[in-house]
Structure 1
Amino acid sequence: METTWFGHSNFRIAHEGTTILIDPFFIGNPAAPISHKEIEAVDLILVTHDHTDHVGQSLELAVRHDAEVVAIFDVIQSLIPQGLPESLGVGMNIGGTIERCGVKIKMVQAAHSAANGSATGFILTFGDGRCIYYSGDTGLFGDMALFAEFHDIDTAFLPIGDRFTMGPDEAAYACSLLKCNKVVPMHWGTWPILTKNLESFEAALTERAPGTEIVRVEIGKTAEF
C-alpha cells in the first residue's frame, strides 16, 4: 500500500491497482507540493465534508479523470449543479457501506460541522483484508471504540491540529479506542493556528496508546505500508 500526503488532510492511497484521493484540497493549500492539474490518475475520490479545505478540487478532478466521487448524499447533490455528472456522484450516508473497485467503503460519523449534510469519516477494507480508518475532521468521541469491534483497523488517519479538530492528546487516546496498529497524523502544520509539529503527539501516543506506531509521511513523498 502506497500513501502520498499532499498536505493538510489531502491524501492519495494506491493499493491493489486502485488509486484513491481523499479530501483533495490543492488550491489554497499552502502545503500542497503540486497542483491538482499534475494528478495523473485517480479511480475514486472520497470527500468527508464540504468545507473548502476538504472538498477542494474534487469536482475538477472527477470530471478530468472520469472518477466517481463518494460523499454524503447532500454533498453529492450540491456538486451536481456545479457540473458533477450524475453518473459520477455516489451519495451515501452514515452507517452505509458500498463497494467500488474492490474496496468496501463504510461511511461513519465525525464530530464536526458541515454546510451540507453531516461531516463523516470512512473505513476502507481492501480485497486483501487491509483496513484503513480515515476520520476526516473530528473531535474525540467514545463510539470510536465501536469501530474496533467491527473492524480490524491497520492504520488510522487522524487530525491532531487542535482548534478545529482533536488535538494531539485526544488523537492519541483515539488510537487506544481504535486499537489501530499504525496512525498517520494529519490536519496539522498547514497554518500557524494549527499544531506545528509531532512532538506532543508522539509523547501522548507513548502514554495513551504505546502499541500504536506513528507513521511519519512527508509532504509530497510516498510512504509504503
Structure 2
Amino acid sequence: MSLSVTWYSHANFLLEYDGVRILIDPFFTGNPQAPCTADEIAPVDAVLVTHDHGDHVGDAVALCAKHNVPLVTIVGTAEKLQQQGVPADCIANGIGMNIGGTLEIKGVKITMTQAFHSSESGAPTGFILRFPDGTTVYHAGDTGIFSSMQLFGELYSIDVAMLPIGGVFTMDPLQAAKACELLGCSTVIPMHWGTFPVLEQNTEHFAQALAARGLNAVKMLAPEPGTAVILEK
C-alpha cells in the first residue's frame, strides 16, 4: 500500500492511504497559492489543526461542518473552534487532545507533539501520523527547531518530515536542515514558504543547507501545489 501526499501550499496537506483521507491545516480561503477552494476538496475523514492562527485553521470549521468529520486539535483550540461553528460531535475525543497523547482514526495513529511558536488558545503543536503499513509522517506545524526532535526520530522512525523553512515566523532553511538530521527522516517536504513576501520564496537555500550538512541521502520533495506525490514504504 502506498501513501499519497498532496501539498496545497503553506502548511496545508492531504494524506491519503487505503481510502482514508486526512487534511492538515486546511488554509484555502485567503491563500494566494492555493490551487483550489475548500469547496472543491472531496470528503475527508479527519481535519487536523496545529494551532489557531488563521493561516492554519483556514477552512477547518466549514470543512468539519460540511463533511461531519472529526476535528483533531489541542484542548482549548477545540473549544474555540467549536464556538466558531464546528459541531460538538465533531470534536475528536469530545474536548480535543493534548501534547504526548495519541488518537486513532480509521487505523491511523495520530500523536500530538509540542511546537515552539505562539497560539491564542491552547498551545502550538505538531503531529506524528503512523499508517498501518508502518509509514510514519511528521508534520511539525509552525515551530522553531528544538532538540527533542531527535527523540521523535528515535521513538517513531520518521519516514517523511514536513518542515517549515520560511523563516521570520518559523524555522529557516538552516534550522530545518538541522531538524532533518535530528529526526533522521529519509524524505522531507518543505512547507510554509512562498505564500507571503516576507517568507523564503523558494527551496534553493534549503537544498543548499541540506547539502552543507552532508544530508545527501535525505530526499527533498517540492511538489507544485495541488500535485499528489506517491510515497512507497
Indicate which of 107, 111, 128 corresponds to 1:106: 111
- The one-letter amino acid paired with 1:132 is V
Matched, 1:224 2:203: no
Please tell me whether residue 143 in structure 1 is matched to residue 144 in structure 2: no
Length-normalised TM-score, structure 2: 0.95
TM-score by length of 1: 0.98
Match of 2:23 in 1: 21
2:183 paired residue among 178, 185, 189: 178
Tell me the amino acid that sits aligned with residue 150 of structure 1. L
User: Residue 194 of structure 2 aligns with which residue?
Assistant: 189
How far apart are residue 114 of structure 1 and its match?
0.3
Stretches of structure 2 that go unaligned for 5 or more consecutive residues are: none
Equivalent position to 2:62, from 55, 60, 63: 60
Query: For this pair of structures, how many residues does the alignment match?
Result: 225
Which deviates further from its counterpart, 82-91 or 120-129?
82-91
How high is the sequence identity, in percent, across the aligned residues? Answer: 49
2:9, 2:153 → 1: CA distance?
27
Structure 1 runs of 4+ off > 6 angstroms?
A: none
CA distance in 2, matches of 1:190, 1:80: 28
Q: Distance in 1 between matches of 2:123 and 2:216?
A: 32
The one of 134, 159, 170 aligned to 2:139: 134
Which residue number in structure 1 is paired with residue 216 of structure 2? 210
- RMSD over aligned Cα atoms: 0.8
Q: Please give the alpha-carbon distance, in whole angstroms, between the structure 1 residues aligned to 2:211 and 2:178.
A: 10
Residue 165 (1) aligns with residue 167 (2): no
34-43 or 77-86, which deviates more: 77-86
Take 2:114 and 2:143, find their aligned partners in 1: how far apart are those partners? 9
Q: 1:184 is paired with a residue of what secondary structure?
A: strand
